[in-house]
Amino acid sequence: MKKITQRVCFLALLAANAHAATIEMDVNGLVCAFCAQGIEKKLRTFEATDDLVVSLERRLVAVSTKPGQDIGDEALRTALTDAGYTVKAIRRSDEPLSAVRERVQASRK
């Protein structure tokens, strides 16, 4: 019974990650518009990318994925490394990208 419960929890966790609305990445080296432009160009090559936010102030790149689609952590790390930047952390949440955008804009006021 305990094993079944563990498996259900594990699958639930996987499912939650697979349908994460937004993926946030803390990125080092993000200092100019050209950096952001290169990262945006790279991330938009993913079929699963719906929209994204880049904040130089927060050193943050956030991607929202299309419904039912996902981009794996390794693919994201590779994409940003190939764009010339260093990913420090990746977080996934159900927060919509618009909320991330508002948070980023609020931090600038």
Partner 1 sequence: MQSLVAGRRAAVLLCACAVSAAQAKPIAFADGTTVMAEYGAGTMVEAQAFYAPSYRFSAGGGYLRLDSDLARRSREIEYVRANVLAKRWNLDAAQANVFVWGSLGRGRGDGFDGSRLARNAGFQLDYETRRVYAAVKSDLWESPAFSHRIDTVQLGLAPYEHDYRDLATWFVVQARRYTGEIHRGTETALLLRLFKGGTWVEAGVTDDGKPQVMAMFNF
Distance between CA atoms of residues 54 and 60, nearest Å: 6
Q: How far is the CB of 90 from partner 1 (least distance, A)?
A: 16
Taking the least distance from each CB to partner 1, the nearer of 5 and 45 is 45
Closest CA to 66 of 99, 26, 100, 22: 22
Tokens (6 digits) for 6: 């563990």
Q: How far is the CB of 29 from partner 1 (least distance, A)?
A: 3
Q: How far is the CB of 58 from partner 1 (least distance, A)?
A: 9
* Alpha carbon distances (Å) from 32 to 7, 38, 54, 56: 45, 10, 11, 7
Which spans of this chain sit near partner 1 (rule: CB under 8 A)? Answer: 28-39, 41-42, 54-57, 59, 82-86, 108
Taking the least distance from each CB to partner 1, the nearer of 42 and 49 is 42
